[in-house]
Amino acid sequence: MSTASPMLEELLSQKCEDIAKGSKPIIIPTIESNLSVLSGWDTPLNYAHIHKTFQFKNYHQTVAFVNAVTWLAHKEDHHPKICFDYNSCEISLSTHNVGGLTMNDMIMAAKINALLED
């Protein structure tokens, strides 16, 4: 049985949507409440993007994760910045079309975390 919070379940059940250029970003309280259920994600640059570093045992595990994230990005048509080395992967999410954060970033963060659940 899942123990995820209702807010997290809601994010996992949604799909990223087309966001028109010039749309407004989500507001700070919405970002904060979503981040409170997104384990490990933070917003180091004042709500410009969200970020998380993932650690792995070796290059095989790291690359398998990167491949899964790129597959998810293609499926959702929402594309994170990914930077990785032997045993870590940094992911940064923002919505280019608004120059800030939208629910697409929160949905992707939830789905990326879920890739690593048992």
Cβ 64 to ligand H2B shortest distance, Å: 22
Nearest to ligand H2B of 8, 25 (CB atom): 25
**Nearest in space to 80 (alpha carbons), one of 55, 117, 56, 53:** 53
Residues in contact with ligand H2B, shown as a per-residue x/- string from 87 to 116 under the rule CB under 6 A: --------xxx-------------------
Q: CB neighbours of 92 closer than 8 A, spacing ≥ 6?
A: 49, 50, 51, 80, 81, 83
Query: Within 10-29, which residues bind ligand H2B (CB under 6 A)?
Result: 18-19
